[in-house]
Amino acid sequence: MLLPENDTIDIKDIIEKFNIITYFQPIVSVGKRTVIGIEALTRGIQDHRIIPPDILFQRAKEQNLINQFDRICRKKALQTHSNLYCNPWESDLLLFLNVEFSKIEDVVGSGYLLQQVMELGLNPGSVVIEIIESKVTDAGSLQKFIETYREHGFLIALDDIGSGRSNLDRVFLTKPDILKIDKGLIRDIDKDFYKQEVLKSLVNLSKKIGALVVAEGVETEEEAIASLDIGVDMLQGYYFSRPEPENYNPYVLQNKIDYIASEYKSYLSDKIKNEKIRREKSEKFILMIKDELSGIPMLGFDDALKEIVSNHSMMECIYILDRHGLQVSETVFNKNEGPKQNRLIFRPTSKGANHSLKEFYYMLINLGIPHYKTDPYISQASGNLTVTLSTWFKDVHNKSFILCIDFKIP
**Residue range 260-269: mean pLDDT, rounded:** 97
**Residue range 301-318: mean pLDDT, rounded:** 92
Which helix (H) or strand (E) segment holds residue 140: the answer is helix 139-151
Of all residues in the chain, the percent with pLDDT exceeding 70 is 89
- Per DSSP, 249 falls in state -
Q: Is the pLDDT of residue 146 over 60?
A: yes
Q: Are 321 and 355 in contact (CB under 8 A)?
A: yes
Q: Are 59 and 1 in contact (CB under 8 A)?
A: no
Q: Is 245 helix (H, G, I), strand (E, B) or coil?
A: coil
The pLDDT score that the predictor gives to residue 6 is: 40
- Whether 293-408 and 11-268 are alike in CATH topology: the answer is no
The pLDDT score that the predictor gives to residue 389 is: 95
Q: Which range, 11-25, 95-109, 120-134, 162-176, has the best average confidence (pLDDT)?
A: 11-25
Instruction: Please state which CATH class domain 11-268 belongs to.
Output: alpha beta
d(CA 294, CA 47): 84
Which helix (H) or strand (E) segment holds residue 280: the answer is helix 254-293
Axis-axis angle for helices 221-230, 193-209 (nearest 10): 50
Rg (CA), the chain: 28
Q: Which of 77-91, 143-157, 381-395 is least confident?
A: 77-91
Helices and strands (DSSP H and E) totals, the chain? 13, 15
Q: Is the pLDDT of residue 3 over 60?
A: no
Which has more pLDDT, 110 or 240? 240
d(CA 106, CA 142): 11
Please enumerate in sequence order all residues whose Cβ is within 8 A of that of 381, keeping only pairs 6 or more positions apart, or say none: 317, 331, 339, 346, 347, 348, 349, 406
**Residue range 363-392: mean pLDDT, rounded:** 92
The pLDDT score that the predictor gives to residue 86 is: 56
**Residue range 68-76: mean pLDDT, rounded:** 91
Terminal Cα-to-Cα distance of the chain (whole angstroms)? 40
Give the closest residue to 142 by CA, choosing from 175, 95, 113. Answer: 175
Which has more pLDDT, 167 or 233? 233
Q: Is the pLDDT of residue 276 over 90?
A: yes
The pLDDT score that the predictor gives to residue 102 is: 67
User: Does CATH place domain 293-408 in 1.20.1530.20?
Assistant: no
pLDDT per position as a tens digit, 320-356: 999 999 999 999 998 776 665 556 678 889 999 999 9
Structural domain spans, the chain: 11-268, 293-408
pLDDT per position as a tens digit, 160-174: 888 766 667 778 888
Q: Tell me, rounded to whole angstroms, the distance of Cα 192 from its chain centroid.
A: 12
Which has more pLDDT, 347 or 243? 243
Q: Is the pLDDT of residue 305 over 50?
A: yes
Q: Is the pLDDT of residue 390 over 90?
A: yes
d(CA 43, CA 247): 14
Confidence of residue 134 (pLDDT cuts 50, 70, 90): low
Phi/psi for 63 (5° steps) reads: -100, 15
The pLDDT score that the predictor gives to residue 88 is: 54
Provide the mean pLDDT of the chain. Answer: 88
- Cα separations (Å) of 326 from 144, 200, 290, 321, 374? 54, 32, 19, 5, 19
**Residue range 72-78: mean pLDDT, rounded:** 93
Task: Give pTM, 2 decimals.
Answer: 0.85
**Residue range 125-132: mean pLDDT, rounded:** 92
